[in-house]
Amino acid sequence: MFFHPSAILFFCFLLVSMFMMICMNSWFLIWFFIEMNLLCFIPLILLKKNKYSVESSLKYFFVQALSSVLILSGILLMFMNFDLYDWLFISGLSIKLGFAPFHQWMVNIVEGLDWGLVLILLTLQKVGPFILFYYMYTMKDSTNYALHIISIMCALVGAMGGLFTSSLRKIMVFSSVSHSAWMILGLVSSIYLWLMYFIFYSLILFSVLFMFKYLNMSNLNHMFMKLSFVISLSVGVSLLSMGGMPPLSGFIPKFILLSEFILMFNYFMFFVLLTSVFVSLFFYSRIFILNFIFLNYKNTFLKNKNVGVSVSLYVNLMGVLVTPFLIYLN
């Protein structure tokens, strides 16, 4: 990928805009830094010199511009004391975050992105809009029902979407949609629960995307062409942890949130999210098992490649030590 020194400047402005939109107490300044965030991410997409990156940057611009118009309209209606402003806010932020049923734009643009940009899109780019969601919820409690409906749709779409695609980038997007269902409810319960879940999700996603980038994997077929047992184990454990398989690291935030749902007697959401986890784990477990069934018939072109997989494996196996303490404390 072509690298230009200005990429460092755009990335720094990206981080600054993210922090500023969280810290500002003026809605118009928040909207301004949302636009700044948008304009700083597009040059990073265009660093990859091909037609897919240009297409992805155009799609990203148009979709984000639409969501920004909705947010700005919501700000204006809020100052005019119209009750419709909260729905415009929710719609605009849902589009920015790629929530179901507004997730399709994210599925379309990831094919033109490098794995590093996929990580930024699924983590850093979501911090600001999630915090704005929390501000919206604290301002108007009636949005509680809308957030629960969005959470249910994200859980179902994210779990089912990964079953019908072979692209690893699209699978990561649907996984992000599924995890967004948990983060929305964590945000409704407490900002600290959301932060805890987001940190765990970011670490696990980084460990998975690090493996995909280092091994140059972009399709499910590539997972059956590696020879090393350690590589296959690391990728499989990372994917199972992403799905929330106990007692891996991905199970820790889900266990804490499920405990909160039981304490709040929210059994319906408990059932919906647990069902979505089972569907996701069925898909990831199938990849994990098939990966080892065909281990003896794999290609040898990576036989001598020394891959630093230890970090990814340790991050996802950390839950084996932490989970017993959580069960004991509960």
- What's the number of domains the chain is made of? 1
Cβ neighbour number for residue 35 with a 10 Å cutoff: 16
Query: What does the pLDDT average to over 90-100?
Result: 90
Measure the CA–CA gap between 104 and 10, rounded to whole angstroms. 26
Tell me if 288 is assigned to some domain. yes
Query: What does the pLDDT average to over 96-120?
Result: 89
For 194, the domain range is 6-329
Look at residue 201 and tell me whether its pLDDT is greater than 90: yes
Please tell me which residue, 302 or 76, carries the higher pLDDT value: 76
Measure the CA–CA gap between 51 and 175, rounded to whole angstroms. 26
Question: Can you give the pTM of this predicted structure?
Answer: 0.90
Measure the CA–CA gap between 218 and 115, rounded to whole angstroms. 9
Where does the pLDDT of residue 198 fall: very low under 50, low under 70, confident under 90, or very high at 90 and above?
very high
**101 upstream amide cis, omega within 30 of 0:** yes
Tell me if 275 is assigned to some domain. yes
pLDDT for residue 121: 92
Look at residue 3 and tell me whether its pLDDT is greater than 80: no
For 208, phi and psi rounded to 5 degrees?
-70, -50
Query: Residues near 201 by Cβ (< 8 Å), separated by ≥ 6?
Result: 123, 179, 183, 250, 253
Tell me if 11 is assigned to some domain. yes
Tell me if 1 is assigned to some domain. no
Where does the pLDDT of residue 67 fall: very low under 50, low under 70, confident under 90, or very high at 90 and above?
very high
**43 upstream amide cis, omega within 30 of 0:** no
**pLDDT tens digits for 132-163?**
888 888 887 777 888 889 999 999 999 888 88
